[in-house]
C-alpha cells in the first residue's frame, strides 16, 4: 500500500538522513500533475512527497466552488487511489498554511483524518505545514505546539517554519521583508527545538531559512548561506546532546544550483519543495503544442480546426511528461535515485 503510514514515513525520513539525500516534495494542482509526479518517482525508484497548498486546493475544487479544503481532499483521495498502482512509497503533505488559515484549512483537514483514523484508515495527509513565520517566534510556537499534539495523536508529522522565505508563492508575498529575516539564527533553532520537544514522541520537520526565496531568479540575485543549517545543528547538539537534530526542509529551492543543493544535504535537509520549476515544465509543452498547431487548435478564417490538436488530452499528455521529466531532474539533484524503501 504505497501511501505511507506513520512508521513508513518516519523510516523514509531516517533513510534520507542516514544516506544524505532529500525527497523531492512536488506541489500539485490536478490529476495530470499528480500522474506525472508519481511516474517520475517510480521511474527513479525513489519514494516521494506530493503536496497541496491552500491555493492548489482552492483551484482543484473548481471556479464555482473555490473551497481549499474540498479541493485538497479530492486531490489527496485521488493520490490514495492511484499511488496503489506503483511500487514506491508516497507521502501526502499540505504546504504553507498561514496563521489566518489554520481554522479554515488545516483544522478541517485534521478533522477528516480523525474520522478516517477512527474508521481504521490512514490519515488523509501524512504531514501538514504550519507556517507561522510572519509571527513573533514565541507566538509561532504557541500555535505550533498544540497543532503538533493533535497531529501526533493521529500519526501525522508537522512541519513548521521560523524565519522568512522571501519572494511570493500562492498569494503570500514576502518580497519586501527585511534581509535579516531571511536567515534563521541559532537561538531561533534552539527555541523551536525546545518548544516542539515538549510534545513527547512527536515527529516534526523544520523549514529554517538561509536566504532562500520562492520563485526563480537570475544567478546572483539570491544569496544562500547553507552553513546556517550546519551551525544550527551544531548548536542543537551542544545544548541537547548528540542525538538532537532537525529534519530540515529546503523551501524556495527552484533555480538553485546543484552545488548549493548538495551542500544542504550534508546539513540535514531531507525534503526540498519544488513548485516554480515544475509549473514551467508543465506549461512549456502546452505552449509549444499551440504554437506548432496554431491553425489546428483554433478555427481560423472559417476553417474547422483539428480535433486531434485541440482535444485537451493532446497537450495535457505532453504537459504530464514535461512535469515528469522535471521531477526526475530534481530527484537526481537531490541524490534520491534508487533510494526507495518500498517492500523492505
Encode pLDDT of 186-232 as tens digits.
999 999 999 999 999 999 999 998 876 644 444 445 578 889 999 99
Relative orientation angle of helices 312-333 and 258-265, to the nearest 10 degrees: 60
Give the domain extent around 78: 6-333
pLDDT at 173 over 70: no
HSE (side-chain half, CA atoms, 13 Å) at 303: 11
Q: Are 91 and 4 in contact (CB under 8 A)?
A: yes
The CATH number of whichever domain residue 310 belongs to comes to 3.20.20.70
Is residue 65 in some structural domain?
Answer: yes
Strands 48-53 and 23-27: parallel
Is residue 343 in some structural domain?
Answer: no
In the structure, what pLDDT confidence band is assigned to residue 336 with cuts at 50, 70 and 90? very high
pLDDT at 36 over 50: yes
CA dist., res. 235 & res. 57, Å (int): 38
CA dist., res. 61 & res. 71, Å (int): 4
The pLDDT assigned to 271 comes to 97
How many residues would you count in the chain? 344
Is residue 59 in some structural domain?
Answer: yes
Count up the domains in the chain and report the number.
1
CA dist., res. 209 & res. 226, Å (int): 9
Residue-wise pLDDT for 275-330, tens only, equals: 999 999 999 999 999 999 999 999 999 999 999 999 999 999 999 999 999 999 99
DSSP state, residue 104: I
**Catalytically active residues, by annotation:** 95
Give this prediction's pTM.
Answer: 0.92
Nearest to 169 by CA among 270, 55, 248, 58: 55
Is residue 341 in some structural domain?
Answer: no
Give the residue carrying C-alpha cell 506530493.
Answer: 50
In the structure, what pLDDT confidence band is assigned to residue 35 with cuts at 50, 70 and 90? very high
Indicate the range of 95-104, 184-193, 195-204, 255-264 predicted with least confidence. 255-264
Residue-wise pLDDT for 126-165, tens only, equals: 999 999 998 999 999 999 999 999 999 999 999 999 975 5
pLDDT at 175 over 50: no
Is residue 15 in some structural domain?
Answer: yes
Is residue 338 in some structural domain?
Answer: no
Is residue 134 in some structural domain?
Answer: yes
Is residue 200 in some structural domain?
Answer: yes
Amino acid at each position: 500500500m504505497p501511501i505511507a503510514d506513520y512508521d513508513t514515513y518516519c523510516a523514509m525520513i531516517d533513510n534520507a538522513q542516514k544516506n544524505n539525500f532529500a525527497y523531492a516534495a512536488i506541489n500539485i494542482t490536478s490529476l495530470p500533475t499528480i500522474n506525472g509526479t508519481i511516474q517520475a518517482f517510480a521511474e527513479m525508484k525513489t519514494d516521494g512527497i506530493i503536496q497541496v497548498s491552500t491555493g492548489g486546493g482552492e483551484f482543484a475544487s473548481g471556479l464555482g466552488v473555490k473551497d481549499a479544503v474540498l479541493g485538497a481532499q479530492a486531490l489527496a483521495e485521488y493520490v490514495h487511489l492511484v499511488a496503489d498502482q506503483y511500487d514506491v512509497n508516497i507521502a501526502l503533505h499540505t504546504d504553507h498554511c498561514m496563521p489566518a488559515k489554520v481554522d479554515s484549512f488545516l483544522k478541517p483537514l485534521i478533522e477528516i483524518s480523525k474520522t478516517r483514523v477512527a474508521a481504521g484508515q490512514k490519515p488523509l495527509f501524512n504531514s501538514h505545514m504550519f507556517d507561522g513565520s510572519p509571527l513573533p517566534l514565541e507566538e509561532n510556537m504557541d500555535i505550533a505546539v498544540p497543532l503538533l499534539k493533535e497531529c501526533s495523536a493521529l500519526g501525522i508529522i508537522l512541519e513548521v517554519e521560523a524565519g522568512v522565505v522571501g519572494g511570493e508563492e500562492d498569494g503570500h508575498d514576502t518580497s519586501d521583508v527585511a534581509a535579516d529575516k531571511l536567515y534563521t539564527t541559532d537561538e531561533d533553532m534552539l527555541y523551536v527545538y525546545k518548544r516542539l520537544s515538549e510534545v513527547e514522541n512527536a515527529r516534526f520537520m523544520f523549514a529554517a531559512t538561509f536566504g532562500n526565496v520562492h520563485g526563480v531568479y537570475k544567478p546572483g540575485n539570491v544569496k544562500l548561506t547553507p552553513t546556517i543549517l550546519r551551525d544550527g545543528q551544531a548548536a542543537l547538539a551542544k545544548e541537547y546532546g548528540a542525538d538532537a537534530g532537525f529534519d530540515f526542509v529546503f523551501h524556495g529551492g527552484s533555480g538553485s544550483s546543484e552545488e548549493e543543493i548538495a551542500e544542504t544535504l550534508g546539513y540535514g535537509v531531507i525534503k526540498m519543495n519544488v513548485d516554480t520549476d515544475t509549473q514551467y515544465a508543465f506549461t512549456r509543452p502546452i505552449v509549444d503544442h499551440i504554437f506548432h498547431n496554431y491553425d489546428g487548435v483554433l478555427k481560423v478564417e472559417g476553417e474547422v480546426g483539428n480535433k486531434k490538436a485541440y482535444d485537451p488530452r493532446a497537450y495535457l499528455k505532453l504537459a504530464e511528461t514535461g512535469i515528469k521529466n522535471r521531477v526526475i531532474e530534481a530527484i537526481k539533484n537531490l541524490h534520491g535515485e534508487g533510494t526507495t524503501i518500498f517492500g523492505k
